[in-house]
Amino acid sequence: MRKRWRYKLLKYFAIAGLITLVVILAFNSTIRPSLPKTPVPKELYDVISPSTYKFILNQPELCENRRPFLVLMIPLTLKDTEARTAIRRTWGQDGLIPLVTILHLFVIGQPAQSDPVLQEHLVRESKEYGDIIQMDFVDSYHNLTIKTMMIMNWIATYCQGAGYAMKIDADIFLNVHYLVDYLHEQSESSGKDYITGSVISDAVPNRDSFNKWYISEDLYPDSWYPPYVSGAAYVFSVDLARKISWASRFVQPIPLEDVYVGLCLHVLGVKPVYATKFLGFRNLFEVRRLKYERCTFAKHIIVNGFNPQNLIRIWHDFQKSYFTC
């Protein structure tokens, strides 16, 4: 009797082992090989190279003599005056969290048609608030990859002493308290090579030329994308700014800025971390729109889709009793 049991047990172990082996093999075969590290041709790299563009407005001393915990980098355009005002009054305001230095910077290109009046306003705004950088590439949807790489380069050049940087779009609600708490919780693991947000895995190139995310096979011949963080908002340890800038020498520019950062991370062998709670049931970087409800928003780091008026409107209510949720 006992012998038969032992035999049965052995059989089960053998089967379990075999299944494990098959599963491991199946998973391994889905791990993509690293991209070959061949530099992109100079004329292509020049499109996103920091040396191609010049500063019109800069804040080179913003991080001097201080080590901010977090730097918020907000891409927008010349005409988005209202959005800048709303952000300065809400999640971008100084001193929101006692003893935690958080800086914000608006990152602007140039309009396709020059607008001297607005430009003059911007220069004045920049003098008043010291929170604007502007470079001489044309602002357009397709040029967002250029802007993202300028953000990486700015952090790497002028703010290496910071802890984290965040790229965040202007139409987003940011729960600064939760973000700071969350980053403090991660602090042991996230000193370097750390990037988090809403991770998109298993995305594939869109070959429909009418689609917003279309990409031609000439520009991107592969049939898959590595995991990347949604471009709406993501946070990274500051060391990655320099590393992503370096990796961009090996990745041909494509007009999808978030995929592009994902390709650079792939070169570096860095995996983006999905910011979730409760086994993935709550996405902390909520890139869908959510109806405003104080205690729902208190449980997210970002929520997508706010115009300046709505942002100011909900902020007051959110601030007044964030801690009661």
Ligand X SMILES: *[C@@H]1O[C@H](CO)[C@@H](O)[C@H](O)[C@H]1NC(C)=O
- The residues binding ligand X (CB under 6 A) are 137-138, 140, 142-143
Residue 53 vs 318, nearer CB to ligand X: 53
In terms of CB distance, is 165 or 254 closer to ligand X?
A: 254
Residue nearest to ligand X (CB): 140
Closest approach of Cβ 76 to ligand X, in Å? 16
Nearest CB to ligand X, comparing residues 143 and 175: 143
Beta bridge partners, 58, equal: none
In the bound complex, what is the minimum distance in angstroms from residue 102's beta carbon to ligand X? 30
Burial class (CB within 10 angstroms; exposed 0-12, middle 13-18, buried 19+) of 227:
middle
Q: Which two tokens stand for residue 86?
A: 């709303």
Cβ-based nearer residue to ligand X, 90 or 145: 145
State residue 270 phi and psi, 5-degree precision: -100, 130
CA 182 to chain CA mean position, Å: 16
Residue 112 or 204 having the CB closest to ligand X: 112
Nearest residue (CB) to ligand X, 194 versus 260: 260
Q: Are 133 and 74 in contact (CB under 8 A)?
A: no
The DSSP output letter for 34 is P
* Helix, strand, coil share of the chain (percent; to 5): 40, 20, 40
Q: Return d(Cα 6, Cα 240) in angstroms, integer.
A: 54
Give residues with Cβ within 8 angstroms of 208, minimum separation 6: 214
Smallest distance from ligand X to CB 142, Å: 4
Task: State in angstroms the smallest separation of the CB of 81 from ligand X.
Answer: 21
Dist. CA 286–CA 288, nearest whole Å: 6
- Angle (nearest 5°) at CA 286 between 30 and 211: 65
Residue with tokens 């006692």: 98
Residue 274 pairs in a beta bridge with 197
Tokens of 79: 């005409």
| Shorter beta-carbon distance to ligand X: residue 16 or 138 | 138
